[in-house]
Copies of this chain bind each other. A is one copy, B any other.
Amino acid sequence: MIKKSKSLYALLGILSLGPHSGYEIKKLIEQSLNHFWQEGYGQIYPNLKRLVELDLATVELKKQDGKPDKKVYTITNLGRTHLKNWLLTPIQELPKEKHEILLKLFFGQNVSAEDNIAHVTLYKQRMEEVLEVYAHIETTLQNYDDKQPDTVYQLITVRNGIYHARAALAWCDETIEILKNTPKNQS
């Protein structure tokens, strides 16, 4: 166990799939983990250095033609052990959300019902787009003939996104109906 920070484990997890540079890791997180995890460069580069200092990864400078040189990080056996230890540790706490639209709605009596309906309508549109993206990823994963062992794990995380998005859409419909029947009480 290193610390409470899960950033290092996120990086170790990515490196367990293969050697990567910091830039590649950022792209990978944006493409695959974005709906439940985010890391910025300000976290990735210092933490990759730390991984090397802790002997959990090694670095190698790779020269590329037509592109700037890159530093490729490879997980060590010690790194794999640390990752597995963390993967076996029971989850500590439930995810904490910072949900801007709910914060606005909680103080909704300061503005009109119409203004609040507008927020929910916009949120619904965004979530419909998100759901489409997830549905597309799901289809892609299901069409893999070669059932690689990690496909199942990618699938269940995407399925989580789909469940969440559908729940959000149902809540939007209910909320819009409730707010439509709210008497005007502009303060």
Contact = CB atoms under 8 A, between A and B. Distances in A.
A111 B62 CA distance: 31
Given A9-B103, A83-B110, A156-B178, 19 more contacts: A33-B106, A36-B98, A36-B99, A36-B106, A37-B103, A87-B107, A87-B115, A90-B118, A95-B97, A95-B98, A102-B157, A102-B160, A105-B156, A106-B157, A109-B150, A109-B153, A159-B175, A164-B167, A164-B171
B6 A103 contact: yes
A174 interface: yes
Interface stretch (A49-57, A63-71, A119-127): A119-127
Interface string A63-98: 000000000000000001001101110111111111
13 contacts: A32-B106, A37-B99, A80-B110, A87-B104, A87-B108, A91-B104, A91-B123, A93-B100, A95-B101, A97-B97, A155-B178, A163-B167, A163-B168
Contacts of A166: 167
A179 to B, nearest CB: 7
A96 B35 CA distance: 7
A100 B160 CA distance: 13
A144 to B, nearest CB: 14
Interface residues of A, number: 71
Interface string A168-185: 101100110011001001
Interface of A is mostly: helix
Nearest to A162: B171
B98 A111 contact: no
Contacts of A58: none
A37 B91 contact: no
B185 A156 contact: no
A36 B91 contact: no
Given A13-B107, A106-B157, A167-B167, A100 B95 contact: yes
